[in-house]
């Protein structure tokens, strides 16, 4: 049995932290008969089996939902910008384009216009320590 633990102190000698450590077969013979190392659940989210989950015990890589947007440009000597979703445009100057006066446009792709962003993909969460019942 694996339990989520919210304190910095260990629950008791009856539990081992799920950090990949070797199981002491002389101290925890029943657990050692099932596994020689406890699972390593540090830094991963546990997910119930089924739906879009991987197979039991298999580590599933990270992914995000598709983020889309589009932009249309119309050349009527002004290059009108019509962008939405993750795209937006900006006029950055005027100049000569092929012998005709016109504006320079710059287009950007920015996912933060559509979804919260961070250095990693993650659901809303709180940290816990996972322990396995060893005896």
pLDDT in tens, 34-67: 999 999 999 999 999 999 999 998 999 888 888 8
Q: What is the pLDDT of residue 85?
A: 85
Query: Is the distance from CB of 79 to CB of 101 less than 8 angstroms?
Result: no
| Predicted TM-score (pTM) of this structure | 0.69
Query: Which pLDDT does position 125 carry in this prediction?
Result: 86
Decide if 85 contacts 111 (C-beta within 8 A): no
Q: Which CATH number goes with the domain that contains 5?
A: 3.90.1340.10
Report the SS3 class of residue 111: helix
What is the number of structural domains in the chain? 2
In a domain, 131, yes or no: yes
Q: What is the pLDDT of residue 69?
A: 82
Contact 15, 134 (CB under 8 A): yes
Give the separation between CA 48 and CA 15, rounded to whole angstroms. 22
Indicate if 40 and 2 belong to the same structural domain: yes
Which percentage of the chain shows pLDDT scores above 70?
84
Instruction: Tokens 């699972």: give the residue.
Output: 39
Residue ranges, the chain, pLDDT below 50: none
Give dist(CA 114, CA 107) in Å, integer: 16
Cross-strand bridge partners of residue 19: 40
Residue 107 lies in a domain: yes
């Amino acid at each position: 049995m694996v339990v989520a633990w919210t304190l910095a102190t260990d629950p008791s000698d009856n539990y081992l932290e799920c950090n990949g450590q070797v199981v002491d077969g002389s101290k925890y013979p029943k657990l050692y008969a099932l596994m020689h190392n406890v699972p390593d659940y540090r830094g991963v989210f546990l997910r119930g089996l089924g739906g879009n989950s991987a197979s039991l015990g298999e580590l599933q890589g990270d992914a995000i939902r598709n983020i889309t947007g589009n932009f249309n440009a119309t050349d009527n000597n002004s290059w009108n910008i019509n962008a939405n979703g993750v795209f937006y445009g900006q006029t950055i100057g005027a100049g000569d384009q092929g012998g005709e006066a016109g504006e320079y446009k710059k287009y950007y792709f920015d996912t933060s216009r559509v979804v919260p962003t961070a250095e990693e993909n993650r659901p809303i969460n709180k940290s816990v320590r996972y322990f396995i019942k060893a005896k």
